[in-house]
Amino acid sequence: MADALPARANIDWLRKTAKQRLRDMRTRAPDAKLAQAQFDIARQYGFSSWRSLKTHLDRHENADANADAPLSDEAIASFLRAVGDGCLEEVRAALAAERALVNATGPHPYWGGRPQALHVSIETKRQDMFDLLIAAGADINGTNDEYEYWSPLMLTFHWNQPAMRQVLMQCGARIGLVEAMLREDDAAVATLLRRGKSALPKIRPNGGSLLAFARTPFAIDRLLELGAPVDLKDRWDTTPIEAMSRLGPGGRDLVRHLMQRGIAAAPQDFARLGDRDALAALADRDPDSVRSDVVLVSAVDFGHHELVRWLLSLGANVNARAPWGSQGTALHSAAWNGDLDMVKLLVAAGADIDAHDAEHSNTPAGFAQVAITVSNNPKCKEVVDYLLSLAATA
């Protein structure tokens, strides 16, 4: 049987493929000609000749250019769900039927905003889906104004996807101020925020302060010089210093730099950083300040096992609830993260395995089950099995 043409095949891609095929053929037959390789490619995809293959592609490109019927939100939503769920064959078939889907903007399959498929593939850490979309012609820079101005390149930093980042960079992804800061490229930041420039860019991802995206002391200082607000909360109620603490231990130097500039950190910021010394100093002055629910949940969120044990020993509530999002318990957080050791630690300390969050009315086991798909984290399956085994023996 002939192979199916890739969804976004074009004549330039086929020419490159034919040249690669020719190089392979010449390892066996030094006198092989390009026409032979082209014929071989055409036959591979079920065409009688290279010319008939080219005619087929030209016809489809013309049809695409003349197509003006807008895609429905329902169709885009279904496509984005397939991308997020990792349904490669379904996505491949959808693109073959409607090429415009690859760059369509639509409702997020799991949370708010209107991303494109490339955004969703990065967020769900699906390298195979990302590769398919890139090959299908996904816009490497994205259409981001309906997604809090988060570009695909920005998302590769947020979701720690260096391989995807490398592909985007190799393809020529655009570097704006936020991308330069996330790359820790002080030279680019200096150029973009050159001396004598009096105003900061108007576009601010998440609607907060650009300071939240600074990743070097230089970037912090330059933004402060230009008047970037230090306490402006973004759409998720997050201040710049909290955003830096959410980098975990990697944000410790940034938080300290902000503190040196007179910006106060909260106990939960130290908990995210895993900074027990700072919390111990606070506990000496005000023990209740480190026993709060938000401190324990923050330590759990970032996988600080020994810190969580210490907080529990001081009397922190093992069933602490987050004041944000769906207001799940610490156990919900550990389960979502697929952190089986943290889950066992909390259960041993008396955490309620049947607790429900406020938004979805779901249990920690239910959170872990959903996260298997949404965060593409296979470790969550171990958490599901463990929690269900406890429920079965209760």
Reduced to 3 states, what is the DSSP secondary structure of residue 49?
coil
Structure tokens at 221: 């200082």
> What integer pLDDT is reported at residue 56 of this predicted model?
72
Question: Which of 212, 230, 265 is the last residue in one of the domains?
Answer: 265
Tell me if 170 is assigned to some domain: no
> Do 57 and 79 fall within a single domain?
no
> What integer pLDDT is reported at residue 375 of this predicted model?
93
Question: Which of 249, 265, 281 is the last residue in one of the domains?
Answer: 265
> What integer pLDDT is reported at residue 68 of this predicted model?
54
> What integer pLDDT is reported at residue 4 of this predicted model?
63
Cα–Cα separations (whole angstroms), residue 218 to 186, 211, 225 = 7, 11, 11
> Do 50 and 146 fall within a single domain?
no
Domain count within the chain: 4
Taking the mean position of all CA atoms in its chain, how far away is CA 55? 39
Non-local CB neighbours of 162 within 8 Å, separated by 6+ positions: 156
> What integer pLDDT is reported at residue 1 of this predicted model?
44
Q: Give 343's Cβ-side CA count (13 Å radius).
A: 26
Reduced to 3 states, what is the DSSP secondary structure of residue 178?
helix
> What integer pLDDT is reported at residue 248 of this predicted model?
93
> Cβ distance 120 to 164 under 8 Å?
no
Tell me if 182 is assigned to some domain: yes
> What integer pLDDT is reported at residue 260 of this predicted model?
97
Tell me if 4 is assigned to some domain: no
Tell me if 147 is assigned to some domain: yes
Tell me if 333 is assigned to some domain: yes
> Do 369 and 272 fall within a single domain?
yes
Question: Which of 265, 289, 308 is the last residue in one of the domains?
Answer: 265
> Do 289 and 381 fall within a single domain?
yes
Reduced to 3 states, what is the DSSP secondary structure of residue 200?
coil
Looking up residue 142, the CATH number of its domain turns out to be 1.25.40.20
* Domain enclosing residue 319, as ranges: 268-394
For residues 369 and 49, give the distance between their C-alpha atoms in angstroms, rounded to a whole number. Answer: 50
For residues 87 and 117, give the distance between their C-alpha atoms in angstroms, rounded to a whole number. Answer: 12
C-alpha angle 303/123/334, rounded to 5°? 25
Residue (of 59, 60, 42) closest to 51 by Cα position: 42
Residue numbers in the chain where pLDDT is lower than 70 = 1-9, 46, 48, 59-69, 195-198
